[in-house]
Amino acid sequence: MLTRTLPPGITVTARVPASSANLGPGFDSLGIALGLYDEIVVRTTDSGLTIRVEGEGADDVPWGPSHLVVRAIERGLESAGVWANGLDVLCRNVIPHSRGLGSSASAVVGGLAAARGLAAEFDAELACDDAELVQLASEFEGHPDNAAASVLGGIVVSWTETGGPVGSGVNGSADHQRSYRAVRLDPHPALGATVLVPEERSSTAHTRGLLPDLVPHADAAFNASRAALAVVALTQRPDLLLPATADRLHQGYRSSALPLTTTWIARLREAGIAAMVSGAGPTVLALSTEDFPAELREGAVIDGLRVLRPDISDGVRVD
């Protein structure tokens, strides 16, 4: 593909939501987009790279070419067959980092969407559709649940199709060509989300390492039924949310690493609220058609949890 150079002075802003993966039984498949937004402003310049980071994680991430947003922008430009001699990048972060709210997927989706927005401003035929954006972002992540939610919004069901052997992928780990797919479902209009965010962080690699290689057939069958039921509960029958969000594949194995999370999930479920680990944790996601009870909110704050009630988002937007 012939690479064309973008002129200086093109500016776009990507507004990308947080996400919560699994939703209980839908391990590495189900996801929901949450209205906590990172904003990425990108402008083409004559030369060099300038990056500024504000808000969440500003002191913890590199301010240079290794920043995840910058890497995603470069990949997005490459996929469109364009390049920029220089970039000015501003990241305004709201999504908590390493809390199970898809901050890395949001960074990748935001960077890719901004890059393709720059390309489309240069040539409208270079606009990127949602399916391509899901594929590009999932290649970075290695799984599509968070990325698809941030792209498509609402509730997503995602899956991976594996083709024949090829070379290494974006992260150097893929042995096969993988096609990442997702469909969006519109949530029930009364459905609301509450997240309880601990101060401590969690490593996805660590919590994934706690999962066994094999699980009992009965547990797999249990989760298959609950994941199917979750699709119905989330979109049509929210009265079924409590049984539909039960899980036997991953949350129990991770409980030793997430004691506060586990305690609050049990407390909320005993109160009849569908609560689960958000992604790899430690955030608790609660889904309900009712307001979050004041006494539980007060108790969570006493335990050092931030209690947020984001809207269910419609996905990334680029202006």
Binding-site residues from annotation for ATP: 96-106
What the block records as the tokens of 305 is 């949890």
In 10 A of CB 157, how many CB atoms?
A: 20
Known binding-site residues equal 96-106
Q: Which residues contact 25 (CB under 8 A, 6 or more apart)?
A: 222, 223, 226, 227, 230, 244, 245, 246, 247, 248, 249
* Beta strand 86-93 pairing with 48-55: parallel
Query: Please, which residues bridge with residue 288 across strands?
Result: 192
Task: Round to whole Å and give the CA distance between 108 and 110.
Answer: 5
In 10 A of CB 200, how many CB atoms?
A: 12
At position 214, the amino acid (one-letter code) is L
Task: Round to whole Å and give the CA distance between 245 and 256.
Answer: 20
What the block records as the tokens of 108 is 């990748």
The answer to whether residues 296 and 271 touch, using CB atoms and an 8 Å cutoff, is yes
